[in-house]
A and B are shown apart, each in its own frame.
Chain A
Amino acid sequence: MLAFAPDLVAQRMMTRTGHIFFKSNAKIDDGVEANNESVACVLDASKGTVAFQVLITAFQFEKALMQEHFNENYLESAQFPKSTFSGQIQNWETIDRNSPGTHEVEVTGELTIHGVTQKVAQTGTLEVLKDGSIQMKTHMLIPLADYNIAIPSVVADKIAKEIDVDIDVVLKG
């Protein structure tokens, strides 16, 4: 196992290729699922604060019509081009960044989607990798109504009201 000298451990860690995958809550198969491989994330390792930025038009769907509706009707990406999160990793000071290992963490902060900001508290895993980079992963459920994402009545009974979201970022200094 490698040990890292504290003064060599990076204070600002980031990625420009973080990953978010979402799909409709599994009970209804409506084909709504998409990937975004261009998530930006920054971690201030001196404080344990973390920030994400996501471009809505960078979510890739298989079906052209679904991608069009997602951007033009549901998320209105021309008006709200980005989704953001800013928050704090709880008990950050207890995480030993000098030793590889996996930690269960809670992150609290503010999530903004479709122009609406909500306070969130989310659990996930934080892994210190052998090369000193940090991988953060979580799975969360996002209720569409909380962010004023309106489902047209004609498809209201076909589109799930909540979205399953997987987030995976590897941060390097």
Chain B
Amino acid sequence: MKKIILFLFVLGLLASGFGVFKYFQPVPGIAEQDADYTLSAAELYIQYVEDESRADSLYVRSILEVSGAVLDRSQEWKQVDVDSVFVHTILLDGGDGMAGVSCQLADVPSAEQWQNWKVGSPMVIKGECSGMLFDVVLSRCVVMN
């Protein structure tokens, strides 16, 4: 009987420990994860334009590795609670020269990197797909090339 109680107690302790571990586990970084899909910005964009619901079912919350040319880019200071963050976004051309795949970078790039990622530059970017607004939106992105 005592052994059973001890066993259940240890089991409970392990379960609690696992629960605490899971609770505090951070969102895993994109760089450490393999892409679920690899495709061009134009391919991704046209799939969304043609059938947003189907594309959502395939890609939302998946890791995508997307290649394409820089159509536009922006860097903005944003207030986050009591802190400020420097948010960098790269827009990859979806093929029509007006919209495409908007990639919000997870980390602040160096000045040299940002200088090199000019309009027209070929890029390979990995990020988590969130869906489509004006563009297909990828979050927490890392530049692969």
Contact = CB atoms under 8 A, between A and B. Distances in A.
Interface in A150-171: 166, 168, 170
B102 A55 contact: no
Contact of A16 (B26, B61, B79, B91): B91
A16 B87 CA distance: 12
B104 A63 contact: no
Interface stretch (B40-48, B108-116, B129-137): B129-137
A163 B80 CA distance: 15
Interface residues of B, number: 31
A58 B131 contact: yes
Contacts of A63: 23-27
Contacts of A2: none
B26 A81 contact: no
Contacts of A38: 89, 102, 104, 130, 133, 137, 139
B104 A55 contact: no
Contacts of B89: 16-17, 37-38
Q: Chain A interface residue count: which class?
A: 20 to 34
Chain A to chain B: the 6 pairs with minimum beta-carbon distance, closest first? A58-B130, A40-B133, A55-B130, A57-B130, A55-B131, A38-B137
Contacts of B80: 21, 35
The dominant DSSP class at the B interface is strand
B133 A65 contact: no
A60 B27 contact: yes
A57 B23 contact: no
Interface in B83-123: 87, 89, 91, 102, 104
The dominant DSSP class at the A interface is strand
Contacts of B26: 62-64
A130 to B, nearest CB: 16
Given A58-B137, A64-B26, 6 more contacts: A16-B135, A55-B133, A55-B137, A57-B130, A71-B61, A81-B131
Most buried by B among A16, A61, A63, A168: A16
Most buried by B among A14, A17, A53, A77: A17
A157 to B, nearest CB: 17
Contact of A168 (B24, B25, B79): B79
